[in-house]
């Protein structure tokens, strides 16, 4: 046999070519399945990256909400200015309505017999009513714990360091 012809023993095995990509692909799909299953079972969780805690909620006016829905970039300064203007308008309307109520005490002068027009949602915060029966010490502890509700108890209420055995 001439030496220019290569024998089949000299060629690389087909297994060395196919096994590494198959292992990599299977590992990719298994990891993808595992992460999706873990997210479905346990949710995002406390320590998720990008999960913001202690973020203050701000009331947004309907005009600003419409701009956000359209996809416009609305700066925080614009949101704050619109919120302040809406608060001032509400305070002015409330003072005007109080002046009208003191001037006209007849209940028939109210344009809305139920107190608010239909479709208006009143914003209430009743959390202070829930804690009203507790003592001041308990309230202070709850206030501090609500600020750190996402931190583990080992950080918020650390215990004394125990001595190890000798």
- Give the number of domains in the chain: 1
79: containing domain: 75-103
Question: How many whole angstroms separate alpha carbon 99 and alpha carbon 109?
Answer: 13
Instruction: Specify if 89 maps to a domain.
Output: yes
Categorise residue 122: left if φ over 0, alpha if ψ from -120 to 50, beta otherwise. beta
* Tens digit of each residue's pLDDT (9 = 90 or more) over 40-96: 887 776 655 566 666 667 778 888 889 988 988 988 899 889 988 888 888 888 888
Instruction: Specify if 92 maps to a domain.
Output: yes
Asked if the model's pLDDT at residue 152 lies above 80, the reply is no
Asked if the model's pLDDT at residue 35 lies above 80, the reply is yes
Asked whether 76 and 58 are in contact (CB, 8 A), the reply is no
Per-residue pLDDT at 129 = 76
Asked if the model's pLDDT at residue 164 lies above 60, the reply is yes
The number of CA neighbours under 13 Å toward the Cβ of 38 is: 9
Instruction: Specify if 5 maps to a domain.
Output: no
DSSP code per residue over 2-50 = -TTSPPTTTSPPHHHHHHHHHHHHHHHHHHHHHHHHHHHHH-S-TT-TT
Instruction: Specify if 37 maps to a domain.
Output: no
């Amino acid at each position: 046999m001439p030496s220019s012809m290569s024998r089949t023993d000299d060629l690389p095995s087909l297994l060395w070519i196919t096994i590494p990509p198959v292992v990599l692909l299977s590992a990719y799909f298994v990891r993808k399945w595992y992460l999706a299953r873990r997210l479905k079972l346990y949710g995002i969780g406390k320590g998720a990256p990008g999960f913001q805690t202690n973020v203050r909620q701000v009331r947004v006016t309907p005009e600003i909400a419409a701009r956000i829905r359209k996809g416009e970039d609305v700066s925080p300064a614009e949101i704050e200015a619109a919120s302040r203007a809406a608060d001032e308008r509400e305070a002015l309307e409330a003072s005007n309505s109080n002046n009208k109520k003191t001037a006209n005490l007849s209940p028939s002068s109210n344009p809305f017999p139920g107190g608010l027009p239909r479709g208006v949602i009143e914003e209430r915060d009743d959390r202070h009513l829930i804690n009203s029966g507790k003592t001041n010490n308990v309230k202070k502890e709850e206030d501090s714990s609500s600020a750190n509700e996402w931190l583990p108890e080992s950080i918020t209420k650390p215990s004394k360091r125990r001595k190890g055995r000798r």
